[in-house]
Structure 1
Amino acid sequence: MKRYLNLQDFATPVLGIGLLLGVVIPVLLWLVERLFQLVVLSLLMKISLTGGGIVLGVLFLLIILEQIQDRILTRQVLQNRTRIPLKNGSYECPYCGNLALKSIDATCPICQRDLKPETDKPQPY
């Protein structure tokens, strides 16, 4: 089974961590440094900015990869459209959703689109 990149539940926490490391913590350290004249905090601020930049950069790269993957998968689905078998023995049109197709139908009676013959029989829904 292939693994697909899906950032739907993953991206929000990573974005939060990246913004925390890249924006919130450096701003707070800068304010504390200005108030108390502590030079040591500038090193921590730079480390936090670097960590946040790395996290946000990796997230941006993953989003780009997911978009490329989604485009490839969408093209595959659109090229391999075929009638969808249902449990009651009828078929569903992949274009308009007509549920009254028969196995002998070459075109959909509603949308008039040509239907590809089945090559592999997928499991009914």
Structure 2
Amino acid sequence: MLLELLRIDEARLAAELSRFLDGPHDLPAVLHETVRLVLELESRWGAKLFRDVVGLYFSPTRPEEEQWAQHQTFVLLAAEIERSRHRGELYDDTDCYDGAAFFLVGLYALLTSYRDIGPERESVLRRFVKSTVRSLQPQG
């Protein structure tokens, strides 16, 4: 039941992200939009259910065949990182799958660590996106 809920809402989130990607955007905007959509999902489910579902990703009992590449949001984010790399906005050796995985794992970790919704959490999430972008973009 929980996995079915996850799949339905993940498809909804991916569809919304896909619509966002149809318009003008850059990588920071995509990352901020991903955060916004995940926060919206957390709000819809409630914090406890959200943490339980996120915990499934990191559970030692999760099915072995469960892979990031099976998740639409991950695939969309990885593709956007790859497009940014091809446009020369990121380091040449940026791995789009690692970048998407690192971002999503970090986002879920922050959301389960900073449970209180408010200015501190918002600030941490903004800094997280900024730090992620800086880690992918060459300086100068």
Relative to the length of structure 2, the TM-score reads 0.24
More helix by share: 2
The structure whose Rg is larger is: 1
Larger RCO of the pair (alpha carbons < 8 Å, separation 6+) = 2
